[in-house]
Amino acid sequence: MGNGRPRVVIIGGGFGGLFCARRFQNVDADVTLLDRAACHVFQPLLYQCATGTLSIGQISRSLREELADHRNVTTLLGEAIRLDAGARRVTARRPDETTFDLDYDYLVIAAGMCQSYFGKDEFATWAPGMKTLDDAITIRRRVFAAFEIAETLPPGPERDRWLTFAVTGAGPTGVELAGQIRELATRSLANEFHSIQPEEARVLLFDGGDRVLKSFAPALAERAQGILEKLGVEMHFGVHVTDVSRDGVTVTSKHSGASQDYPARTVLWTAGVEAVPFARHAAEMLGAQADRSGRIAVDADLSVPGHPEVFVIGDLAGRDELPGVAENAMQGGLHAAGCIRRDLDGDPRKPFRYRDLGSAAYISRGHAVLQAGPVKLCGRLGWLGWGFIHIAFLTGVRNRFSTVATWLAAIARSDRSDRTFILGGSGHPEDPYTWESVHQR
Ligand SMILES: Cc1cc2nc3c(=O)[nH]c(=O)nc-3n(C[C@H](O)[C@H](O)[C@H](O)COP(=O)(O)OP(=O)(O)OC[C@H]3O[C@@H](n4cnc5c(N)ncnc54)[C@H](O)[C@@H]3O)c2cc1C
């Protein structure tokens, strides 16, 4: 303890880290919340930002602003890169690549997961994932620019390639993206172009399983599948995407082993997740077990075995098949903070008990699926339930008001108010787009 007050360092200001930090309000402890992006992102609505319905500001909030009332909580911008478990010190990197150290008495690791390409990281050049605001903006650029580029091309295979969108992974994110791109093509963009017919855009959805939304009840998944079919999404099950290039994807059947190429200039990847690099390093430094995806094994109170001062929460917590959902992260954050507070009060810790409050996925305008225990809703009721849940958990009153207003306008007019994309100027040709120069290298 530095000045006699315990120092709590929380790594990650996502659902887990933010809820943990909030719980320390007026507690006699110095809390530091470190995040590599300095803002809280409402990941469940990333796809709406990617497809032009919502703005960045509507789905995220500065952590500094969010925690301004918590006088004992300091928020810092930096990426945790090293852990010295013996010295109880975390080293963080600033965006300018310089570093600084943070000493702790308690450490809460809430750094979440990143996209996994199952060892084929080179796919990322052509197939952006969907985990961060940068990803959403990249996808927005690719999707809207694809229609623009197609408009300038004569009819033929190259134009068709630009009007074909391949989505890998039929979990909630893949389903939401696929549905939104078709909806964009058939409603929002339908009458805006002169040369192309946006509604002819093909959206291909690939998955290794035998249906969409594996984590939902089969009846709900079937309903979702029916809605996607009606919308015009072409679904391919029992296949793995085994190659991704500038020109499309190669897909291999799990059963026959036969491969097929699908030309598509826009490929989006939602197929898998793995622990962020810092979590793998932390597991090693703590001598903790980690599963194949990098989730760290934790005790019943969410602390790391042999390290009662270190908690792992949210998507990174590997125990009892805790699901990778926001609710688990929020409850874990509150629990870890509760344990630390009990320690400070001299009370025994309690085990973490996850309460499953259900899950929901948006399919298309007027359609969503929602399941919570025995309650299973789809269609308009599911849609209303979905809207209610998402508004309830959005951070900041301002975000809630403006999101509801934007949704109402989108329902009334089918337009998308945040379609602006920038081409970027990072100096990495693959960043702005899939330009020829990358192909020729
Ligand atoms: C597109 C998408 C849609 C989703 N939809 C739903 C849904 O509808 N319902 C639902 O319940 N769940 C949904 N989820 C899952 C849900 O968002 C996650 O389960 C939840 O965000 C996990 O919370 P977390 O705190 O563990 O991690 P995250 O929320 O991912 O937060 C991790 C934080 O750590 C920061 N960070 C990472 N590495 C470092 C580092 N080294 N140093 C410092 N900071 C770091 C990141 O910037 C981030 O802010 C969705 C996820 C995605 C990606």
State residue 436's pLDDT score. 44
Closest residue by CA, ligand 1 atom 53:
131
Task: Judge whether 229 counts as a catalytic residue.
Answer: no
Whether residue 430 has pLDDT greater than 70: no
Of the residues 79, 176, 183, 274, only one is catalytic, namely: 176
Predicted confidence band at 152 (pLDDT cuts at 50, 70, 90)? very high
Per residue in 61-73, pLDDT (tens digit) is 999 999 999 999 9
Q: Give the model confidence (pLDDT) of 253-286 as tens digits.
A: 999 999 999 999 999 999 999 999 999 999 999 9
Residue 276 in contact with ligand 1 by CB distance below 6 A: yes
111 lines ligand 1 (CB under 6 A): yes
Report residue 416's pLDDT band, with 50, 70 and 90 as the boundaries.
Answer: confident
Ligand 1: centre distance to CA 13 (Å): 9
Average pLDDT over residues 142-147: 96
Taking the CA of residue 7 as centre, how many other CA atoms within 13 Å lie in the half-sphere pointing to its CB? 16
Determine the residue of 9, 10, 15 to mutate for testing ligand 1's pocket, defined as the one with the most ligand atoms within 8 A of the Cβ atom: 15
> Does the CB atom of residue 15 touch ligand 1 within 6 A?
yes
Q: What is the mean pLDDT of the chain?
A: 93
Q: Determine the distance separating the centroid of ligand 1 and the alpha carbon of 44, expressed in angstroms.
A: 9
- Ligand 1 proximity of 182 Cβ (cutoff 6 Å): no
Confidence of residue 424 (pLDDT cuts 50, 70, 90): low
Q: Residue 195 has what pLDDT?
A: 97
Task: Give the ligand 1 atom nearest the CA of 35.
Answer: 44
How many Å lie between the centroid of ligand 1 and the Cα of residue 322?
A: 14
Summarised one tens digit per residue, pLDDT across range 51-63 is 999 999 999 999 9
Parallel, antiparallel, or unpaired for β 106-109 and 7-11?
Answer: parallel
Q: Whose CA is nearest to atom 30 of ligand 1?
A: 112
Predicted pLDDT at 153: 97
What is the predicted pLDDT for the residue at 393? 83
- Which residue's CA lies nearest to atom 6 of ligand 1? 44
Per-residue pLDDT reduced to its tens digit, 333-381: 999 999 999 999 999 999 999 999 988 999 988 899 999 888 999 988 9
pTM score of the predicted model: 0.94
pLDDT more than 70, % of the chain: 95
35 in contact with ligand 1, CB cutoff 6 A: yes
Question: From the CB of 322, is ligand 1 less than 6 Å away?
Answer: no
Question: What's the CA-to-centroid distance between 133 and ligand 1, angstroms?
Answer: 11
Mean pLDDT of the region 94-108: 97
Residue with CA at minimum distance from ligand 1 atom 19: 325
Mean pLDDT value of segment 419-425 = 79
**Contacts from 348-351 at CB under 8 Å and sequence distance 24+?**
349/301, 349/303, 350/301, 351/300, 351/301
The pLDDT, as a whole number, for residue 156 is 97
Query: What is the whole-number distance in angstroms between the Cα of residue 255 and the centre of ligand 1?
Result: 34
- Residue 1 banded pLDDT, cuts 50, 70, 90: low
| Ligand 1 atom 25: residue of nearest CA | 16
The residue count of the chain comes to 441
Question: Band of the pLDDT at 5, cuts 50, 70, 90?
Answer: very high
The sign of the torsion formed by the CA atoms of 112, 114, 119, 121 equals: negative
CA 17 / ligand 1 centre spacing (Å): 10
Q: Is 327 in the pocket of ligand 1 (CB under 6 A)?
A: yes
The answer, yes or no, to whether any atom of ligand 1 lies below 6 A from the CB of 34, is yes
pLDDT higher than 80, residue 301? yes
Three-state SS string across the chain, please? CCCCCCEEEEECCCHHHHHHHHCCCCCCCEEEEEECCCEEECHHHHHHHHCCCCCHHHHEEEHHHHCCCCCCEEEEECEEEEEECCCCEEEEECCCCCEEEEECCEEEECCCEEECCCCCHHHHHCCCCCCCHHHHHHHHHHHHHHHHHHHCCCCCHHHHHHCEEEEECCCHHHHHHHHHHHHHHHHHCCCCCCCCCHHHCEEEEECCCCCCCCCCCHHHHHHHHHHHHHHCEEEECCEEEEEEECCEEEEEECCCCCEEEEECCEEEECCCEEECHHHHHHHHHHCCCECCCCCEECCCCCEECCEEEEEECHHHEECCCCCCCHHHHHHHHHHHHHHHHHHHHCCCCCCCCCCCCCEEEEEECCEEEEEECCEEECHHHHHHHHHHHHHHHCCCHHHHHHHHHHHHHHHHHCCCCCCCCCCCCCCCCCCCCCCHHHHHC
Token pair 């320390």 is found at 24
Cα of 194 vs centre of ligand 1, distance in Å, is 40
Tokens of 105: 């008495």
Q: Is the CB of 368 inside a 6 Å radius of any atom of ligand 1?
A: no
Q: Mean pLDDT across the stretch 165-177?
A: 97
Confidence of residue 427 (pLDDT cuts 50, 70, 90): low
- pLDDT band, residue 403 (cuts 50/70/90): confident
Least confident of 147-151, 367-371, 382-386, 407-411: 407-411
In this prediction, residue 392 carries a pLDDT of 84
- The reply to whether ligand 1 has any atom less than 6 angstroms from the CB of 46 is yes
Question: How many whole angstroms from 103 Cα to the centroid of ligand 1?
Answer: 25
Quote the pLDDT of residue 87. 98
Atom of ligand 1 nearest to the CA of 114: 30
* pLDDT for residue 391: 86
